[in-house]
Amino acid sequence: MTTTSCSPAPEAREPEPRVAPRTGPRTGPRRGLRQPLPMTGHTLGSRSAQTCHFRCGDACLTPRPSSSTAPPFEELAQQAVGRRALLAGLGAAAVAGAALAPRQARAAGRARGSRAAAVVAPGAAAPAGALAGFAPVGPVPADVDDVVVPDGWEWHCVIAWGDPVVAGAPAFDLDAQTPEAQLTQFGYNCDYLTVLPLGGSGKRALLVANHEYTNENIMFPGYTDDASLTAEQRMISMAAHGMSVVEVRRDGPGRPWRSLPSRYGRRITASTTPFHLTGPVAGSELVRTSADPEGRTVVGTLNNCAGGTTPWGTVLSGEENFQGYFRSSDRLDPRNGVYGISDTGRGWDLGDERFDTAKEPNEVNRFGWIVEVNPFDPFSTPRKHTAMGRFRHEGATPSIAEDGRVVCYMGDDTGGQHLYKFVSRDRVAQRPRSGRENDVLEHGDLYVARFAVDGEPSSDHDGTGEWLPLTLGGRSVVPGMSLEEVLVFTRTAAAAVGATPMDRPEDVERNPVTGKVYMACTNNSGRREPGPANPRVRNRYGHVVEITEDGDQTATTFTWALPVVCGDPEDPSTYFSGLPASEVMPIACPDNVAFDAYGGLWVSTDGQPGSLDLADALHHVATEGPFRGKVTTFLTVPVGAETCGPLVDAEEGSVMVCVQHPGEVDGASVENQVSRFPYDGAVRVPRPGVVQALPRR
């Protein structure tokens, strides 16, 4: 996502950075340096078995949660599949959208608060600004242990697992790691990433990252299974979850960011950070526990995946696969069955009864929310917003509608689950001050999407849709469910109103220049019949959905299209808006979507190794004009890793990504690593971290 357009927060005096970049810039592929383990043991999707266990609690091996009764698909199944032939010509609509004149583009950028002067057609075939003309990378084989960037570019690691965040934090030491140290150091498996300006110099900022999950297999020497974890190792893992706020500094725009432990540095964790519950569920019986009989304060956050940056400078984070941390029992509310609560958990129940539903059956209801953190105040209490519903939240991306209400798009990342939209009750200023918290996300209406196909002209690649309300005006509109039940058991409510089952909705984000909304459906190998906006059975490669609201973000109807149905372009089940295979590059398992300030779409992937035998990547995708659907690869990440949290500044020519779970392949362990990312030579384990790519000087 672009750096937020909010006004900078006041700058405080701090000493100069002391932390030098550890990693020398690299460019180009370095192949054959290490022989990785075979990529064996893949499960039902595109991931390694390690990823399935540690991130999702082996969710794909448990019975698939029930979902909405899908609309009739017979018509869809009968429709011809010859899409490439049908659409080989250029779509009239695409051509019409291509020529947004520079003046119009600039006006659009200003109107929506973009800080860029958009001087090219948004979503054009190639990136604009300092990224114009980059030489595409790859395709890069999945076993390459390197970050590969375009010729003429270089990269460095800004911060990695174990690096100091809080002032006074110790340096990482694999053999002497403690819970106390981890509570002050950068967490594991960073995912969402944002950088918020601090002061007006352009030289200081706060970097905020999510830490989705831990992989003890390659973190702790001697690990064999969850039962083998020591109490101290469990506490380290809990402390390595959550979020980090860390100050970063640079010499000026377009220069490398470097992390600096400071008074802004903060770790938010699964075990130590209290959160206020807000909204209709706060105080409900459904969230009361023996430790919190009032049901208003939750300790910790779990499996924080993607997120969003608010126009007022706070950060939203999605609690995604929370179900994997709890041990199921007979006391678990059966209405939680749809979330697929783990039979075994992660062993955390051995040290903390909160994770044993036999002891605390309501604790699980206190996770699966969108959380909001104010990074500018390290002493602020973060919040969990219950008005935004409870599901496996991938993330939430906010924007301000014309009337000042705030709208968040949200995906529920499970095959057959849904796309949601939250519309706030209250209004905010169009350009709120940064660092000033508000309560606008505590009350509002929750909608879920139903997609339909109208038939002509391109059948399964476009159609119409509507936003079905689940709550309106502080009341449930779902028959037989109270407001609290709708918000705690949101999946059941969505199914009851006929929401469309999707192919794992991941990140969803609104293009700040065109106003169109893009959703990554990452894959769904379990799909047995086509559906609206999900045209492919056994969808291994995923697709991107484009939504055009019939009005601003608060509209209740929309049209949709599929600019890209992913995979190897030679595969006839793929679709790149009619472009021939020779014009595009392979892409699979889209996960995060982001926009540069010119309206260029960037898509990061999670699953190219398992589906295409290619390294996961960050791609540019053209969304307008004659090259709509054109995919070009900007960078790839090391063996075992996925690409997360893209942050593309096309004006300065800075591209940042999180390298999540490097070296996570089946058979890897601390004693048998396949990746050494970030290649600093200091430790013998891969360390997930933040990469910044810049043009070489």
> Under the rule (CB under 6 A), what is the footprint of ligand FEO?
212, 305, 320, 394, 413, 506, 591
Nearest CB to ligand FEO, comparing residues 143 and 413 = 413
Q: Closest approach of Cβ 508 to ligand FEO, in Å?
A: 11
Among candidates 577, 599, 596, which has minimal Cα distance to 587? 577
d(CA 633, CA 138): 7
How many whole angstroms separate alpha carbon 360 and alpha carbon 326?
Answer: 10
Binding residues for Ca ion (CB under 5 A): 305-306, 506, 591, 606
- Euclidean distance between CA atoms 323 and 301, whole angstroms: 12
In the complex with ligand FEO, which residue's Cβ is closer, 226 or 320? 320
Residue 603 host element (H or E): strand 601-605
List C-alpha distances in Å: 452 to 449, 531, 550, 603, 670.
Answer: 10, 9, 15, 25, 49
320 contacts which partner out of ligand FEO, Ca ion, none, CB within 5 to 8 A by kind? ligand FEO
CB of residue 602 to Ca ion, shortest distance in Å: 14
212 binds, among Ca ion, ligand FEO, none (CB under 5 to 8 A by kind): ligand FEO
The residue among 413 and 549 lying less far from ligand FEO, judged by its C-beta, is: 413
Count of Cβ atoms closer than 10 Å to residue 614 Cβ:
23
CA atoms of 68 and 158, how far apart (whole Å): 43
**Minimum gap (Å) between residue 593 Cβ and ligand FEO:** 12
CB of residue 550 vs ligand FEO: minimum separation in angstroms? 28
d(CA 118, CA 596): 10
Q: Which is nearer to ligand FEO, 212 or 651 (CB)?
A: 212
Nearer to Ca ion, 305 or 665 (CB): 305
The item of ligand FEO, Ca ion, none sharing an interface with residue 445, based on CB under 5 to 8 Å by kind, is: none
Residue 445 in 3-state DSSP? strand
What's the closest the beta carbon of residue 519 comes to Ca ion, in angstroms? 12
For residue 672, what are the CA distances in angstroms to 368, 616, 684?
34, 22, 10
Closest approach, Cβ 170 to Ca ion, in A, equals: 30
CB of 23 to ligand FEO, least distance (A): 26
666's contact among ligand FEO, Ca ion, none, with CB below 5 to 8 A by partner kind, is: none
519 close to 507: Cβ distance less than 8 angstroms: yes
Q: Which two tokens stand for residue 524?
A: 């769904």
- The minimum distance between CB 394 and ligand FEO, in angstroms, equals 5
Minimum CB distance to ligand FEO, residue 661 (Å): 11
Rounded-to-integer distance, Cα 78 and Cα 676, Å: 50
Quick one: 204 or 504, whose CB is closer to ligand FEO? 504
Of the two residues 108 and 305, which places its CB atom closer to ligand FEO in the complex?
Answer: 305
CA atoms of 689 and 677, how far apart (whole Å): 8
Q: How far is the CB of 66 from ligand FEO (least distance, A)?
A: 20
Which of Ca ion, ligand FEO, none binds 130 (CB below 5-8 Å, type-dependent)? none
User: Of Ca ion, ligand FEO, none, which one does residue 549 interact with (CB within 5 to 8 Å by kind)?
Assistant: none
Is the CB of 346 or the CB of 628 nearer to ligand FEO? 346
Judged by beta carbon, residue 303 or residue 424, the one nearer Ca ion is 303
Q: In the bound complex, which residue of the shown chain has the CB atom lying closest to Ca ion?
A: 606
Binding-site partner at residue 412 among Ca ion, ligand FEO, none, CB < 5 to 8 Å by type: none
Q: Quick one: what does residue 145 bind among ligand FEO, Ca ion, none, with the CB cut-off 5 to 8 Å set by partner type? A: none
* Pick 143 or 606: Cβ nearer Ca ion: 606
Under a CB-based contact definition with an 8 Å cutoff, are residues 437 and 312 in contact?
yes
> Strand (E) positions, 229-313?
242-249, 258-260, 266-268, 274-278, 297-299, 304-309
Q: Can you tell me which residue has the tokens 């893992």?
A: 237
Q: How far is the CB of 469 from ligand FEO (least distance, A)?
A: 25
Spatial distance between the Cα atoms of 344 and 59, rounded to a whole number of angstroms:
11
Cβ atoms of residues 189 and 212 within 8 Å: yes
320 or 652, CB closer to ligand FEO? 320
Q: Tell me how far the alpha carbon of residue 657 is from its chain's centroid.
A: 11
Give the Cβ contact number of residue 557 at 10 Å: 11
Q: Rounded to whole angstroms, how far apart are CA atoms 618 and 585?
A: 12
- Cα gap 560→453, rounded to integer Å: 9
Closest CA to 301 of 377, 210, 234: 210
The whole-angstrom separation of Cα 650 and Cα 600 is 9
